[in-house]
Structure 1
Amino acid sequence: MSEISLNSIAQWTESFEKDPVSKLAASVFQHGNIEELLINRSREIADIHVFNTKVQQEGAPVTDQKASGRCWLFASTNMLRLKLMSKFNLKECQLSPSYLFFYDKLEKANYFLDQICDTYKEDVSSRLVQFFLTDPIGDGGQFTMMTQIVDKYGIVPNAVYPDSYNTTASRVMNKLLLAKLREYAQILREKLAAGKSVEDDKAKMIAEVYRLQCIFLGVPPAPDKEFTWDFYDKDGKFQTITTTPKAFVKDVIEFDTPEYISLLNDPRNPYNRMIKIDRLNNVVGTNPVTYLNVEIDVLADAVVHRIKNNKAVFFGTDTPKFMDNNRGIMDIDLWDYKLIGYDHRAVDKASRVLYNQSLMTHAMLITGVHLDDNGKPVRYRVENSWSNKKGSEGYYVMTHDYFKEYVYQVVVEKSEVPELVKLLDTDPIVLPPYDPMGALANM
């Protein structure tokens, strides 16, 4: 082992003081925002918000998840609302992320207690048990987890179950629910270790979680209970629909959840293989999160194909890496970090994941793409859920270089990738629940 000597520090300081370039950099950067000062003007000019291929109708209004980790629910419902806007000639439409949020929390709590019971023989300090105890009902999630909530509970328009304070600022609610669940975990583990039954205890625990969620979020509509949705279309014509949350999905939105699959780009693992994230789920009795791992060009081609067919694309990325909210730009070369000796291209995508430098953290929607003369993507139009005050009125331009380096997932329909469907029947590569490819569900 070697320590840093005071003599070395003296030498480094002398070297720094004699270097005019470093001194100039210090004079500039010590008096201003480093990222603003390093903006590459040529990239800023090139990253224009113009696209030659877009979905015919984008969603409105621009949504805002506020101080919550509900990006996956906003990206999902923003995708689904496009069908309603076209079907009913709507100027604006918003489905309720809060409705899905409520039942996802409830199901996650139940899944957590189920996993605690299943692993009670493991030492409480084991990595697996500690992972479950870390944040079992966090706001994050995956597209697959959304479909499992939708299949069981349906969806409602936002007007039927709008945001409460704690859906928009979930930190304190999550803290209180987490403390309660950790308390329950200890009770269950100790009773099981003593050879006692815990079924009645578990049922009472989930009932209490439901009660607390009703206090924090409001009582949600029951999945099979009718509600009425009244609205005006673009022409001012009044319309009304009476249905149930589950029927709303099937008959009104016509969302066929089994048709959707997630394509993944994880260069650590072999391509053209299924990947399963072990024990990463929300609804007991359903399958854990799975992906088809393919090369990044397959993801890009799938995005272009969907946009050309007037379909927006749910995608997962590492955000806010290389994102400028003021300009609405996602571009790995927007900042000229090489000027201060930092080369962000020195490490490849696989290594960034392996060494905890990158992981999937945010979900958004792609609604457009700019293609070159050869039909290849140059940049993408991205709908975010951080309000119309961020980006360019809520939208961002994402370069294809950014897509290749920091996009990990896109969601498509099976009919769009028939050559890959056969992979669904193969044995998957199984990754642990704390793997970076499961990170979006743990945000």
Structure 2
Amino acid sequence: MLKKVFLCFGILISIGTIQAQEPYKFTEVINLEATPVISQGRTGTCWSFSSTSFLESEIMRLTGQRIDLSEMYTVRNTYPKKADNYVMRQGKAQFSEGGLAHDVLNSVAEYGLVPHTAYTGLLDGETNHNHAELVAVLKSMVDTYVDNPGKKLSKKWKPAVDAVLSVYLGKNPETFEYDGKTHTPQSFLEMTTLQPKDYVSITSFTQAPFYAEFILNIPDNWSYGSFYNLPLDDMMATIDNALKNGFTVELDCDVSERTFSSKSGVAVIPESVENDKKALEAIYPEKQITQAYRQEEFENFTTTDDHLMHITGLLKDQNGTKYYKVKNSWGTEASRNANGGYVYFSESYMRLKAISITVHKDALPKTIAGKLNIH
């Protein structure tokens, strides 16, 4: 009987300890300039929204100008590239709404930039983006061209795709007014001083040599962009070095985990899966993430390429643990998005779930830039 009493007492202590975990209390350490959080609406264009936000912060860093760039101008000019890739590969490629940061940089280099006032991608009184119908129409079109029912693909298919994009998103502007001056997309890009060639994409996986470039095989890398491959600690050091020196960071990551919550505003990797839900509201011990564990989770598809976001700062909780301030593109509605639309990533979450990052080359630590031969 006495033994059972002590056992029950022990269980009560354990339960009490779990219930007494402290709610998060965050203090900002670094908070870099960024434009307001907006919503990508019912679209899969996070790659454009996050990378555009990243470029807006870069313009602020370079010139001090706050410019609201058009996300949909890039989307509009990227779809024909996706369609061409899909059709010419006879359907043996990715055709979807997804993309990566280098798709935005490639578009900027070729088509320039325009402000949101010059191209919204919203027509006929629309106030929110909804591409469900557009994507369905485009996919049916490119699949028809792949099937080639006429047994000889005509030259009409590219103008047809372009026409559909114009109907749903609007025609590309050739000139527009901004701050009392007439611009083309290329002259506007020149005014921002952005140089697309100055940005590098970095990842960390062991299937390729470190300190070299390789093509990362993930679904949204439809354009077969290459990444510099760094050891995990070096990739994390690059993020920290960038933020400490005033550079924000573009992020491709996995947000499919139960321990990522825009509603709670945190993303963590609890040591025990039993704490997955509770760790969204209070501090629990986290798993130590190694290079080997990161690789295992990637190769077994537990870590997947889901979403792109924008890292704009650092925080610490009341225990001094580091978190990254990450700007999302799901709006600011308080019932669905805490922290004004930002999610605070723990260091463990970032180490495990960051697929890749994009930074200005000057944000690289000098030793890492040297190893990559980037100058």
TM superposition score normalised by structure 2: 0.79
* Partner residue, 2:56: 81
Structure 1: unaligned runs, 5 residues or longer: 1-38, 117-128, 192-197, 231-239, 426-443
1:243 is displaced (CA, Å) by 1.4
* Partner residue, 1:94: 68
Measure the CA separation in 2 of the matches of 1:423 and 1:86: 26
Measure the CA separation in 1 of the matches of 2:359 and 2:329: 20
Q: 2:248 aligns with which of 290, 312, 317?
A: 312
Q: 2:328 aligns with which of 378, 384, 391?
A: 384
1:416 is displaced (CA, Å) by 3.6
Gap change, CA 1:257 and 1:81, over 3 Å in 2: same
* Partner residue, 1:158: 116
Q: Does 1:42 align with 2:21?
A: yes
Q: Does 1:289 align with 2:225?
A: yes
What RMSD, in angstroms, separates the aligned Cα atoms of the two structures? 3.4
1:414 is displaced (CA, Å) by 2.7
* Partner residue, 2:303: 358
Measure the CA separation in 2 of the matches of 1:414 and 1:88: 17
* Partner residue, 2:265: 328
* Partner residue, 1:58: 34
Measure the CA separation in 2 of the matches of 1:40 and 1:220: 57
1:293 is displaced (CA, Å) by 1.3
Equivalent pair of 1:329/1:396 in contact (CA under 8 Å): yes
Equivalent pair of 2:61/2:246 in contact (CA under 8 Å): no
Measure the CA separation in 2 of the matches of 1:354 and 1:271: 17
1:399 is displaced (CA, Å) by 0.6
Q: Secondary structure at the match of 2:73?
A: helix
The C-alpha deviation readout for 1:88-121, integer Å capped at 9, x for no partner, is 766x6421111111111122112222222xxxxx
Q: 1:179 aligns with which of 124, 140, 146?
A: 140
* Partner residue, 1:396: 343
The C-alpha deviation readout for 1:346-401, integer Å capped at 9, x for no partner, is 992222222221112111111111379xxx97111111111112121111211101
The C-alpha deviation readout for 1:162-183, integer Å capped at 9, x for no partner, is 1325982112211111111111
Equivalent pair of 1:273/1:293 in contact (CA under 8 Å): yes
1:214 is displaced (CA, Å) by 1.0
The percentage of counterpart residues that share the same residue type is 20
Structure 2: unaligned runs, 5 residues or longer: 1-17, 278-285
Gap change, CA 1:148 and 1:402, over 3 Å in 2: same
Q: 1:71 aligns with which of 41, 46, 62?
A: 46
Measure the CA separation in 2 of the matches of 1:145 and 1:89: 25
The C-alpha deviation readout for 1:201-253, integer Å capped at 9, x for no partner, is 2x3100011111111111121xxx321024xxxxxxxxx3321111211x222
1:71 is displaced (CA, Å) by 0.9
Gap change, CA 1:421 and 1:115, over 3 Å in 2: farther
Measure the CA separation in 1 of the matches of 2:269 and 2:120: 37
Equivalent pair of 2:268/2:345 in contact (CA under 8 Å): yes
Write the mapping of 1:262-277 to structure 2, written as runs, cut at 5 A. 262-277=201-216
* Partner residue, 1:124: none
Measure the CA separation in 1 of the matches of 2:205 and 2:100: 16
Measure the CA separation in 2 of the matches of 1:189 and 1:423: 53
Q: Does 1:367 align with 2:312?
A: yes
Equivalent pair of 2:253/2:305 in contact (CA under 8 Å): yes
Q: Does 1:148 align with 2:106?
A: yes
1:291 is displaced (CA, Å) by 0.6
Equivalent pair of 1:79/1:313 in contact (CA under 8 Å): yes
Residue identity matched to 1:243: H
* Partner residue, 2:6: none
Equivalent pair of 1:51/1:380 in contact (CA under 8 Å): no
Measure the CA separation in 2 of the matches of 1:267 and 1:359: 16
Gap change, CA 1:160 and 1:350, over 3 Å in 2: same
Q: Rg: which structure is higher?
A: 1
Write the mapping of 1:194-273 to structure 2, written as runs, cut at 5 A. 198=153, 201=154, 203-221=155-173, 225-230=174-179, 240-249=180-189, 251-273=190-212
1:332 is displaced (CA, Å) by 1.6
Equivalent pair of 1:74/1:97 in contact (CA under 8 Å): yes
Q: Secondary structure at the match of 1:228?
A: strand
Equivalent pair of 1:166/1:216 in contact (CA under 8 Å): no
Residue identity matched to 1:42: Q
Q: Does 1:411 align with 2:358?
A: yes
The C-alpha deviation readout for 1:402-427, integer Å capped at 9, x for no partner, is 111111211123334354557768xx
Gap change, CA 1:378 and 1:87, over 3 Å in 2: closer
Write the mapping of 1:13-24 to structure 2, written as runs, cut at 5 A. none
Gap change, CA 1:142 and 1:89, over 3 Å in 2: closer
TM superposition score normalised by structure 1: 0.68
Equivalent pair of 1:370/1:380 in contact (CA under 8 Å): yes
Residue identity matched to 1:54: N
Equivalent pair of 2:216/2:225 in contact (CA under 8 Å): yes
Q: Secondary structure at the match of 1:409?
A: strand
Equivalent pair of 1:304/1:377 in contact (CA under 8 Å): no
